Chains A and B, each alone.
Chain A
Amino acid sequence: MTAEQSYEDAGDGLAHPFVKPFDVQKVRNDFPALHQTVHGKPLVYLDSAATSLKPSVVIDAVASVYGRDCANIHRGVHLLSARATERFEAVRTQVAEHIGASSRSEIVFTSGATSGLNLLASTLTQAHVRSGDRVLVSMMEHHSNIVPWQLACERVGAMVVPIPLDKAGALSLEAYANLLDTKPKIVAFTHVSNATGIVNPVQKIAAMARDAGALSVIDGTQAVPHLEVNVAEIGVDFYVFSSHKAYGPNGVGVVYGHKALLDALPPYQGGGDMIRNVSFSGTTFADPPTRFEAGTPNISGVIGMGVALAYLRNLGSDARVHEKSVLNYAKTRLRELPQVSLVGDSEHQVGSVSFVIEGVHPHDVGTLLDKAGVAVRVGHHCTQPLMEHFGVPATVRASFGVYSTCDDVDRLCDAVNATVAFFR
């Protein structure tokens, strides 16, 4: 039974009345931020890879925490605290089911994917990496899956070695296999590139790491909104993602860690909640996941994330098929524009398309698109090594969500054409 089936069979009363074909207009009605004008034009939001918009159910859930169950968790004996704790901890179980973890104790809540990757880089390096050891990190990583490893490795005198990419921007499995011969301790890589949308063959990369005796860490931030993720099927040791790119609130992330591996890790930050007993003669620590959750967490954020993941689950595979068709339409349309070149074009791609316009810097494109009501991301997308690989300083990235439409793509292409004409 897949995680999806088990969730839908749970009888939670959340069954959604969507009918096939996917009713995108109905979905759009769930997202209040879509319904506004910018610079006098209806908003076209193509920046979901930076942060997705939030459905009303998520906004309402966050408000209900502050408006009703406003209490700290794990601490009080009063009713409000009990309600908040129950709602918070229910999300842990839900997330475990959502990503195919075997136990809720494998789910650690963090303040985001960046803090999750810092947690892993710090504790994994402390526990498993010694002077002279190597950690492999792919060249297509977001800076948040590069810099934490550099900082952690520097402390112990270890090396961060990049896994090269092929010309099209996909990870080179041949180069990776050769690097595994050097017996790295950890391999960290993204599930989906935030800059190009290219999907890595994560199952294969994780299996190769395991066979070489290395621990595997996946940044799943751009995968969870667009793909069915199952950590058991992938066979990965650690998997990190954030809430806010998957229709949930900002300031919340998840670290999945295989139970035996999490048990063996030292604490990350110290504080309340993460201890067993504190004494000046020596403090002992709680078991995972609590060991890694010092201080008051983002309670409303976690509860909002739970609602967001339930919302996504209820849309089901139809939403993924719809998103893929919008992405493919965007790629087809953009390829037809003579001045446009796609950056990192692949058949294994979800959520985003990156491109450059000949003779026009992405920042100027961004300003003109904004004036046309089209919100995109321009810049290096916190992936400077990847930009260097492609030989560009920056790109324009259009990224999609469950609410994106082919009309959005047409508006994008019209604005791109107008931009080309403006700078001619």
Chain B
Amino acid sequence: MDLGELYQELILDHNKHPRNFKRVAECTHHARGDNPLCGDKLSLELVFDESGRVRDIGFQGVGCAISRASSSLMTEAVKGKTRAEVLALFDLFHRMATAPMDAEHVEMAGLGKLEAFSGVREFPMRVKCATLAWHTLHAAITEGDSLVTTE
């Protein structure tokens, strides 16, 4: 497995220039995510509009390139989506990132840019870096104000 497959150009770009790296004023949902093993800390805020779609979303915190890029690309991917669409995307992403290393087929349809994280499953120690943002988002919209950890 080549390093370039883990750190794809898109991931390196979003690590260097994270999108939606901000606080969200008057957010309706928020959660914090910790990876206690590596010390990553993520704070996620979002607001739904009247039609039930994500109007704005932002994240803050410290983390590695994978977790930062994953947070950044996730915020782009879920903007404008309904709660149900976000949860469906969560499932898709989670299945891709945690598929067994020797899986013959991994469902990618519907992931769009998030396919950039398909290499993560070949680095078992780094899967949690990619999924932390998504678990935090999941907690924010299903449990309200909460703290999730990867452990």
What distance in Å separates the Cβ of B131 from its nearest Cβ neighbour in chain A? 14
B7: interface (CB < 8 Å): yes
Q: How far is the CA of A380 from the CA of B68 in the complex (A)?
A: 18
Complex contacts, B12 vs chain A, CB 8 Å: 423
Contact, CB under 8 Å: A393 / B62: yes
Contact, CB under 8 Å: A384 / B39: yes
B66: interface (CB < 8 Å): yes
A361: interface (CB < 8 Å): yes
Contact, CB under 8 Å: B3 / A361: no
Encode A74-104 as 1/0 by CB contact (under 8 A) with B. Answer: 0000000000000000000000000000000
Q: Which residues of B33-75 have CB atoms within 8 Å of chain A's CB atoms?
A: 37-41, 62-66, 68
A387: interface (CB < 8 Å): yes
A51: interface (CB < 8 Å): no
Of A364, A387, A422, A423, chain B has the most CB atoms within 10 Å of the CB of A364
Contact, CB under 8 Å: A380 / B6: no
What distance in Å separates the Cβ of A393 from its nearest Cβ neighbour in chain B? 5
Determine the interface band of chain A, counting residues with CB < 8 A from chain B.
10 to 19
Complex contacts, B63 vs chain A, CB 8 Å: 361, 363
Contact, CB under 8 Å: B41 / A393: yes
Contact, CB under 8 Å: A364 / B39: no
Q: How far is the CA of A361 from the CA of B15 in the complex (A)?
A: 10
Contact, CB under 8 Å: A387 / B39: yes
Complex contacts, A393 vs chain B, CB 8 Å: 39-41, 62
Complex contacts, A423 vs chain B, CB 8 Å: 12, 15, 65
A27: interface (CB < 8 Å): no
Contact, CB under 8 Å: A380 / B3: no
B38 contacts which of A360, A371, A378 (Cβ < 8 Å)?
A378
A367-B123 contact given A361-B63, A393-B62, CB 8 Å threshold:
yes
What distance in Å separates the Cβ of A401 from its nearest Cβ neighbour in chain B? 23
A199: interface (CB < 8 Å): no
Complex contacts, A422 vs chain B, CB 8 Å: 3, 7
Of B39, B40, B126, chain A has the most CB atoms within 10 Å of the CB of B39
Q: How far is the CA of A393 from the CA of B37 in the complex (A)?
A: 11
What distance in Å separates the Cβ of B60 from its nearest Cβ neighbour in chain A? 13
Query: A-contacting residues of B (Cβ < 8 Å)?
Result: 3, 6-7, 12, 15, 37-41, 62-66, 68, 123, 125-126, 129
Beyond contacts A363-B64, A422-B7: 6 other A-B pairs, Cβ-Cβ < 8 A, are: A360-B65, A363-B66, A364-B66, A367-B125, A378-B38, A380-B38
List 11 contacting pairs A-B, 8 Å CB cutoff, sorted by A. A361-B63, A361-B64, A363-B40, A363-B126, A364-B64, A364-B66, A367-B6, A367-B123, A394-B39, A423-B12, A423-B65
Query: B-contacting residues of A (Cβ < 8 Å)?
Result: 360-364, 367-368, 371, 378-380, 384, 387, 393-394, 422-423
Q: Which 7 A-B pairs have the closest CB atoms?
A: A363-B64, A361-B64, A380-B39, A393-B39, A393-B62, A364-B65, A394-B39
